Amino acid sequence: MGRLRGKVAIVTGGGGGIGGATSARFAREGAKVAVLDRNLQAAEAVAARIREAGGEALALACDITDRKSVDAAVAEVGAKLGPIDVLVNNAGWDVFLPFTKTQPEQWDKLIAINLVGALHMHHAVLPSMVERRGGRIVNIASDAARVGSSGEAVYAACKGGLVAFSKTLAREHSRHGITVNVVCPGPTDTALFADYKQGAGNPEKLEEAFRRSIPLGRIGQPDDLPGAILFFASDDAAFVTGQVLSVSGG
Ligand code: NAD
C-alpha cells in the first residue's frame, strides 16, 4: 500500500473493466485518480466506489479522439488534483471481423480511438511532465500486437503502432526522467471481450478455445492487470523504460 501516495494519475477508459480495476487499485495505493471516459456515467460509478472506500477520485467525460475534449479534461485534472504524475492510456475499442469484411470507416474509428487517441493524451500531458522532469506513462496495448489475433487485424495494427510509439517516446523522454512502458493484456473478461465473442458468432466455443490456448488455463479478469500497470507507474520501475509486458496467462 502507498506506492503512489500523493501522486496524480489519469486513467483513460477508467469507466471500463481494466480501467476501473486500475483506477481502484491506484486509489488504494494513495493516488488521486482522474477517471476519464467518454461514458461519464461509467466513470462516475468507478469514482464513487473509490470515494466510498476512502480514496480520492475525479470522474470526467473525455473523448480521447477529440483534442478539445482531451485538453479540457487534462486542464481540469491539473486545476482540481494538481500536476499529472502518471498517465495510463487504457481506453480502447474493437470490431471483430475478418479484415476483408471490414470497411474503411471502421478502420478510421479503430485508428482514431486505439492509436490517435493515445497520441492526443501523450501530447497533452507530456509538456508538463517535461517541465517537471518526471512522469510515468503506461500504455495498454494487446497481445494481438505481439502474436496477432484473427478478426482483429486493424486493431492489432493500432496496438502494434502503440508499442512502437511507446518504445520511441521512451527514448525521446528518458533524459526528462519520464518512463514509457506497455502492458499487453490477453483475453480478459470485460465488455470489450464480450463484444469480441459475440462478433465471432459462437461465444462459448470461442471462450473455450481461448481457455485451452492459455497456459495458465483461464481467461483473465480485470483485477489481473493492475499489478503490472502499478509496477510501471510506481518508483519500483524507476529504471525501466520502453518495455512491453504481457499479462495474458502465458
Ligand atoms: P472495456 O470496454 O471494459 O473498457 C474500455 C473503456 O474505454 C470503456 O469504458 C469505454 O467507454 C472507453 N472508451 C472507448 N472509447 C473511448 C474514447 N474515444 N474516449 C474515452 N474513452 C473511451 O474494455 P477493457 O477490456 O477494459 O479495455 C481496456 C484496454 O485493454 C483497451 O485498450 C483494450 O484494447 C485493451 N485490451 C483488452 C483485452 C480484453 O480481452 N478485454 C485484451 C487486450 C487488450
When pLDDT is averaged across residues 172-196 and rounded to a whole number, the result is 96
pLDDT bracket for residue 196 (50, 70, 90): confident
In one letter, which amino acid is 79?
A: A
Instruction: Report the pLDDT value the prediction gives residue 199, as an integer from 0 to 100.
Output: 81
When pLDDT is averaged across residues 203-229 and rounded to a whole number, the result is 95
Distance in Å, CA 175 to ligand 1 centroid = 31
Residue ranges in 33-66 assigned as alpha helix (H): 40-52
When pLDDT is averaged across residues 156-161 and rounded to a whole number, the result is 98
Q: What pLDDT, in 10s, does the model give residues 94-150?
A: 988 999 999 999 999 999 999 999 999 999 999 999 999 999 999 999 999 999 999
In one letter, which amino acid is 9?
A: A
Pocket of ligand 1 (CB under 6 A): 12-13, 15-19, 37-39, 42, 62-65, 90-93, 113, 117, 140, 142, 185, 187-188, 190-193
Distance in Å, CA 38 to ligand 1 centroid = 11
Closest by Cα among 81, 59, 79, 83 to 11: 59
* pLDDT tops 90 at residue 206: no
* Cell, residue 187: 483475453
Residue 16 maps to a domain: yes
Residue 152 maps to a domain: yes
- Told to judge if 155 belongs to the known catalytic residues of this protein, a careful annotator would answer yes
Instruction: Report the pLDDT value the prediction gives residue 197, as an integer from 0 to 100.
Output: 86
Q: Which residue has the higher pLDDT, 195 or 141?
A: 141
The values of phi and psi at residue 216, to 5°, are: -80, 0
Residue 42 maps to a domain: yes
Instruction: Report the pLDDT value the prediction gives residue 20, as an integer from 0 to 100.
Output: 98
Residue 216 maps to a domain: no
Residues 137 and 131 sit within 8 Å (Cβ to Cβ): no
- Considering its fold, how many domains does the chain have in total? 1
Name the residue of 39, 190, 206 whose CB sits within 8 Å of the most ligand 1 atoms, as the mutation to test its pocket: 190
* Cell, residue 173: 523522454
Residue 215 maps to a domain: no
Instruction: Report the pLDDT value the prediction gives residue 201, as an integer from 0 to 100.
Output: 81
Residue 241 maps to a domain: no
Residue 90 maps to a domain: yes
Report how far residue 164's alpha carbon sits from residue 162's, in angstroms, rounded to the nearest whole number. Answer: 6
The pLDDT > 90 percentage for the chain reads 92
Report how far residue 143's alpha carbon sits from residue 239's, in angstroms, rounded to the nearest whole number. Answer: 24
Using CA atoms, how far residue 69 sits from 40, 136, 212, in Å, is: 13, 22, 42
Strands of 32-37's sheet in order across:
56-61, 32-37, 8-12, 86-89, 135-140, 178-185, 244-247
Residues 11 and 26 sit within 8 Å (Cβ to Cβ): yes
CATH of the domain at 177: 3.40.50.720
Question: 127: domain range?
Answer: 8-186+224-236
The single residue of 26, 96, 155, 193 carrying the catalytic annotation is 155
Instruction: Report the pLDDT value the prediction gives residue 176, as an integer from 0 to 100.
Output: 98
Residue 131 maps to a domain: yes
Report how far residue 227's alpha carbon sits from residue 247's, in angstroms, rounded to the nearest whole number. Answer: 10
* Cell, residue 116: 490517435
Q: Whose CA is nearest to atom 17 of ligand 1?
A: 63
Using CA atoms, how far residue 181 sits from 16, 109, 174, 213, 239, in Å, is: 21, 24, 12, 26, 11
Report how far residue 108's alpha carbon sits from residue 110's, in angstroms, rounded to the nearest whole number. Answer: 6
Using the atom order of ligand 1, give the atom closest to the CA of residue 222: 26
